[in-house]
A and B are shown apart, each in its own frame.
Chain A
Amino acid sequence: MIQVQDLVKSLDSRPVVRGLSFTARDGAITGLLGANGAGKTTTLRMICGVLQPESGSVTIEPGGAGALLDHMGIYPRLTVRENLAYFGMLRGMPPAVLAERIDHVLATLGLQAVAHRRTAGFSQGERMKTALGRAILHAPKNLLLDEPTNGLDVPTVRSLRDLLRRWRDAGACVLFSSHVLEEVGTLCDQVVIVEHGRVAAQGSPAELCRQTNSASLEDAFVKLTCTGDPAIC
């Protein structure tokens, strides 16, 4: 479970996140939905601990967190295995456990065939899978993903969604951000709509539609985040 309480963060004295609170449950996929610049990425980075909030708190239930942020750079001169091993060693995993976990992750993501290849020249999908493997190496109970499907082809997106569902069914807490409404609608049990660094609304996709009398999540999103721009509203 990930609990976020009154997070506040400014960038160059411009407020980006202003008092954001929500809870992502275990055994559920929670979608962080918002327009570009709404504060999704900054929020996820604060949850991961790479940015310090000015105020507010982040509580991650025991079981650890793994994250696939929008920066998913891997080392091109290292092989897939070496990329994974580097992060495993930084986590202090004993060599025997690490080797076993790497085998498991490579099998889960279907990366065995390229495991010993250097990652230079990898396709976008292979790079994403390597970065994802790195994030789930320590079998975290909480998983954060920042727009993970950006730039991926259809088969890769589908296999990623299947993985997320499987993890949820195994009891994990999955939190992912997106601005693709269709994706959030089909995948998420719970949606948190972020607008100008605050939570504009939250609930299941069906609840949000009912609440706003909308036929689709897209309509609901527009109604909930409408800022008075006549071209949109």
Chain B
Amino acid sequence: MLNSVLVVARKEVIDSLRDTRSLTSSLMYALMGPAVVFMVSLASAAASRMDAVLIGMMSVFTLVAAFVGGMSVAMDTVAGERERQSLLPLLMNPVRRREIVWGKWLAVSLFAVAGLILNLAGFALVFARSGMHLPWPAVAAGILPLAFLAASIQLLISTVCRAAKEAQTYLSMLVFLPMGLGLFQVFFPVSAHAWFAFLPVLGQQLQLEYWMKGGSAAFVPAAALGCCTAVLALLVLEVAANRLHRDEIVYGN
């Protein structure tokens, strides 16, 4: 079981790493946030402090980074595979379809996590100039699972779509989810509701802002948020795996 999952994941990682064009665009996407915030911070350097707007921007960019790191891999790995007519031969192997989905998810997650880490590292550099440091253990527990959730949702969308181009349209729209929620929260702070801290996407946004504003980095709430996010990721992944059992996956092209 684990073996086939790893075989699929390994192949998808190697395959995606060779897709240098998609890789380049994902890389630029991940570093766009730190670059923009850095430039804005230069403009407001006279104030010598990170103001709320900058922190809000940073957190939105970070949420987005979790959703763009694995985007091209997700669209290529199911919808693209279906379009190139290699999905059917793949499904003929004596491997459960759930294992195939898990393998692909692992690969997408890896790229999503890489995008997120790259983005956070970029911000860490920018913020180090003003003497601020990211609480890495809490980041790992609370923020990184967002990449797993993003990978699950993206895979689900990819199994619904029939071609990579169609998947690209919807996956690009999906990026507006963290962007919209994040911006909403920047302009209409709703942190009064305590349970928001456990909601995926919104919770991550709140935590990032809280840390950036100098709040203490408690590990336990971050880990709780991470767990909620990971559970949701697994549920969505299960839906994606079930979709692969439908006849229309085999038909229609």
> From B100, which residue of chain A is reached at the shortest CB distance?
A90
Expressed in whole angstroms, the Cα–Cα distance for A52 and B247 within the complex equals 8
Contact check, A11 vs B89: say whether CB atoms are below 8 A apart.
Answer: no
Contact check, A90 vs B7: say whether CB atoms are below 8 A apart.
Answer: yes
Expressed in whole angstroms, the Cα–Cα distance for A87 and B90 within the complex equals 8
Partner of B89, one of A49, A52, A72, A92: A72
> From A135, which residue of chain B is reached at the shortest CB distance?
B89
Interface size class of chain B, counting residues whose CB lies under 8 Å from the partner chain: 20 to 34
> From B252, which residue of chain A is reached at the shortest CB distance?
A11
Interface centre among B88, B89, B250 (most CB of A within 10 A): B89
Q: Is B93 an interface residue (CB 8 A)?
A: yes
Chain A residues closer than 8 Å to B11, beta-carbon distance = 75, 78, 86
- Which secondary structure characterizes the binding site on chain B? helix
- Beta-carbon contacts of B1-44 to A below 8 Å, as 1s and 0s? 00110011001001100110000000000000000000000000
A-B Cβ contacts below 8 A, count: 67
- Beta-carbon contacts of B78-120 to A below 8 Å, as 1s and 0s? 0001001111111111110000000000000000000000000
- Beta-carbon contacts of A51-75 to B below 8 Å, as 1s and 0s? 1100000000000000101011111
> From B249, which residue of chain A is reached at the shortest CB distance?
A50
Q: Is A89 an interface residue (CB 8 A)?
A: yes
Contact check, B84 vs A76: say whether CB atoms are below 8 A apart.
Answer: yes
Chain B residues closer than 8 Å to A134, beta-carbon distance = 89
Taking the closest CB of chain B, its distance from the CB of A149, in whole angstroms, is: 17
Taking the closest CB of chain A, its distance from the CB of B141, in whole angstroms, is: 34
Chain A residues closer than 8 Å to B15, beta-carbon distance = 75, 77-78
Chain B residues closer than 8 Å to A118, beta-carbon distance = 18
Interface size class of chain A, counting residues whose CB lies under 8 Å from the partner chain: 20 to 34
Closest 3 CB pairs of A and B: A73-B86, A73-B85, A71-B85
29 pairs of residues in contact across A and B, judged by CB atoms under 8 Å: A45-B88, A50-B92, A50-B250, A51-B250, A69-B92, A71-B85, A71-B86, A71-B87, A71-B253, A72-B85, A73-B86, A74-B86, A75-B86, A76-B84, A82-B14, A86-B7, A86-B11, A87-B89, A87-B93, A89-B7, A90-B4, A90-B90, A91-B93, A92-B3, A92-B4, A92-B94, A118-B18, A131-B89, A134-B89
The chain A residues found within 8 Å of chain B, CB to CB, are: 11, 45, 48-52, 67, 69, 71-78, 82, 86-87, 89-92, 118, 131, 134-135
